[in-house]
Amino acid sequence: MGTPSKVTSACLRVLEFGISCIILGVLSKFIHALHQGNGSTDSRLIFAISMAAISILFTFILVPPVKYSFYCFPLDFALFICWITCFALLQDLSGTHTCSSYWYDHYWSFYWGSAWKLPAGTVVVTDFGCSQWRVVLAFSFIISFCWLTNGFLSLYVCVEYYNLGYRTVTTVR
């Protein structure tokens, strides 16, 4: 197993860890604000938080570029599928009008900006939390392809260096 594959794998795992922490932090802050305003938590956000926590756990375990971390390529592909599903579910909440959709205005922006604390009849002009929502969307897309890249790298290492792609033929006499 070559040094470039070990370094690339470790760098991708560290990137996955960092992105997972960012997604978990942003969504945790939102859910904290949501519970202060007595709002109900959307199940898609719970799925995204769960995916971030699972990703943190597995990247922490798989960061060392040793043999077992390359044998876990099916896990990399499974987490890619979970993350791309997570991105699709989150994107479907706000649709093509990311920061001007009904869901964003009446759920994310309302609770992120603490609008429930304002007196009745107060009009909020700014968009609260638009950049944070876009960060969650962008990083959930980026992390899915980090998992996919790491899966292909691990599969390549297993086939090339660990002889998973070769069959041995023995003849009996």
Residue 26 vs residues 20, 31, 77, 154: alpha-carbon distances, Å: 10, 9, 25, 30
Question: Under the phi-then-psi rule, with left for phi > 0, alpha for psi from -120 to 50, and beta for the rest, what region is 140?
Answer: alpha
Which range scores top for mean pLDDT: 87-96, 106-115, 148-157?
A: 148-157
150 Cα distance to chain centroid: 14
Name the pLDDT band for 115 (thresholds 50, 70, 90).
Answer: low
Instruction: List the end-to-end C-alpha distance of the chain, in Å, as a whole number.
Output: 35
Average pLDDT rounded to a whole number, residues 53-63: 94
Average pLDDT rounded to a whole number, residues 81-85: 97
Task: Work out whether the CA dihedral 107, 111, 115, 116 comes out positive or negative.
Answer: positive
pTM of structure: 0.82
| pLDDT confidence of residue 50 | 96
Average pLDDT rounded to a whole number, residues 145-158: 92
